[in-house]
Amino acid sequence: MPLALRLRGVVKRYGRITAVDHLDLEVPEGTCVGLLGPNGAGKSTTMRLLTAQAIADEGELEVLGHRLPGDSKAARAECGVVPQLDNLDTTLTVEQNLRVFAHLYRIPRAERRDAIERALDMARLADRRDTRADKLSGGMRRRLLIARSLVHGPRLVLLDEPTVGLDPQVRQELWALIDALRAEGVSILMSTHYIEEAQRLADTVTIMADGRAVASGRPSELVLEHVGREAVEVYGPPARLAEAEAEARAAGYNTRRTGTSVSVLGTERANGDAPEGERRPANLEDLFVLLTGEEAE
Amino acid sequence: MSATAAEPAAAARPRTTLGRLERPALMGVLVREIINFSSFWKSSVFSSTVEPTIYLLAFGFGFGSLVSHVAGYDYVEFVGTGTVATAVLFSSVFSAMFGSFVKYQFQRTYDAILAAPVDTEELVTAESLWIAARAGVFGCAPLLVAMAFGLDPSWGMLLVPFIGFLTGYGWACFGIFIAARLNSIDHFSYVTSTVVTPMFLTAGTFFPISGLPEWAQVLAQFNPLYHCVQLVRGAAFGFQGWVDVYHVAALVVFAVAMWRLAIHYMGKKLID
Question: Could you tell me if residue B15 is inside a domain?
Answer: no
What's the burial of A294, exposed, middle or buried (CB within 10 Å: 0-12/13-18/19+)? middle
A226 closest CA partner among A167, A266, A174: A266
Q: Give contacts of B36 with chain A, Cβ < 8 Å.
A: 89, 91-92
**Residue A165: per-residue pLDDT:** 75
Q: Is the pLDDT confidence value at B109 over 90?
A: yes
B17 domain-assigned: no
Is pLDDT at B226 greater than 80 in this prediction?
yes
Residue A241's pLDDT is 84
Residue B43 lies in a domain: yes
- Per the prediction, chain B carries an average pLDDT of 87
Tell if the CB–CB gap between A59 and B6 is shorter than 8 Å.
yes
Residue B253 has pLDDT above 90, yes or no: yes
Q: How confident is the model at residue B13 (pLDDT cuts 50, 70, 90)?
A: very low
**Coil vs helix vs strand at B271:** coil
Average pLDDT over residues A227-248: 85
Q: How many domains does chain B have?
A: 1
Report how far Cα B150 is from the mean position of its chain's Cα atoms. 28
Q: Which residues of A touch B271 (CB under 8 A)?
A: 52-55
Q: Which residue has the higher pLDDT, A192 or B172?
A: B172
The reply to whether omega before A69 is within 30° of 0 (cis) is: yes
Inter-chain residue contact A104 with B107, CB threshold 8 Å:
no
Listed in sequence order, the residues at least 6 apart from A292 whose beta carbon sits closer than 8 Å to its beta carbon are: A37, A38, A41, A207, A208, A209, A214
pTM, to two decimals? 0.86
* Rounded Cα gap, residues A145 and A133, in angstroms: 10
CA A234 – CA A261 distance, rounded (Å):
5
The contact set of B with A (CB < 8 A) is 1, 3-10, 12-14, 24-25, 27-29, 31-32, 35-36, 39-40, 107-109, 111-119, 270-272
| pLDDT band (50, 70, 90) for residue B241 | confident
Position A40 scores a pLDDT of 84
Give A 118-157 residues with CB within 8 A of chain B.
none
Range of the domain at B263: 22-270
**Cβ density class B124-145: b for 16+ within 10 Å, e for less:** bbbbbbbbbbbbbbbbbbbbeb
Alpha-carbon gap, residue A143 to A75, rounded angstroms: 23
Task: Report how far residue B103's alpha carbon sits from residue B100's, in angstroms, rounded to the nearest whole number.
Answer: 5
pLDDT at B10: 42
CA-nearest residue to A47 within chain B is: B115
Least confident of A74-83, B88-97, B196-205: B196-205
pLDDT at B147: 86
Substitution target from A7, A68, A87, A146 for chain B, most B beta carbons within 10 A: A87
CB contact set of A253 (below 8 Å; sequence gap of 6+) = A264, A265, A266, A267
pLDDT in tens, B178-209: 999 998 888 999 999 999 898 888 888 888 88
pLDDT tens digits for range B127-137: 999 999 999 99
- The pLDDT value recorded for residue A267 is 82
- Out of B47-61, B89-103, B208-222, least confident range: B47-61
Kindly report the nearest CA distance between residue B138 and chain A, in angstroms. Answer: 23
Q: What are A127-163's pLDDT values in tens digits? A: 999 999 999 988 889 889 999 999 999 999 999 988 8
Query: Whole-angstrom Cα distance, residue A58 to residue B5?
Result: 11
Amino acid letter for position A5: L
pLDDT of residue B234: 92
* pLDDT at A240 exceeding the cut of 90: no
**Confidence class of residue A249 from pLDDT cuts 50, 70 and 90?**
confident
Residue B75 lies in a domain: yes
Query: A189 or B72, which is more confident?
Result: A189
pLDDT at A173 over 50: yes
Domain assignment present for B208: yes
The pLDDT tens digits for A177-232 are: 888 888 888 999 999 888 888 888 899 999 998 899 988 999 888 888 888 888 88
Q: What is the reported pLDDT for B45?
A: 82
Q: Determine how many CB atoms are found less than 10 A away from the CB of residue A240.
A: 12
Nearest to A7 by CA among B1, B119, B142, B16: B1
Q: Which of A220-224, A241-245, B85-89 has the highest mean pLDDT?
A: B85-89
**Interchain CB contacts (distance < 8 Å): A and B:** 126
Please tell me the distance from the alpha carbon of residue A81 to that of residue A67, in angstroms, as a whole number: 18
Interacting residues of B225 by C-beta distance below 8 A, sequence separation 6+: B85, B89, B167, B199, B200, B203, B205
Task: Name every residue whose Cβ is closer than 8 Å to that of residue A90 and which is 6 or more positions away in sequence.
Answer: A132, A133, A134, B107
Phi, psi dihedrals of residue A12, rounded to the nearest 5°: -135, 120
Contact B9 A55 (CB under 8 A): yes
Interface predicted TM-score (ipTM): 0.86
- The CA angle A12-A202-A282, to the nearest 5 degrees, is 100
Q: Give B37→chain A minimum CA distance, Å.
A: 10
CA B158 distance to own-chain centroid: 19
Distances, alpha carbon B92 to alpha carbons B29, B49, B130, in Å: 17, 12, 10
Yes or no, beta carbons of A103 and B111 under 8 Å apart? no
Nearest CA in chain B to A97: B32
3 state SS of A230: strand
Pairwise CA distance, residues B84 & B177, whole Å: 23
Residue of A nearest to B4 (CA): A8
CB within 8 Å: A8 and B24: no
Nearest chain B Cα distance for residue A103, angstroms: 5
Assess contact for B192 and B205: CB atoms under 8 A: no
- Distance (Å, rounded) from C-alpha B154 to C-alpha B157? 6
Is residue B1 situated within a structural domain? no
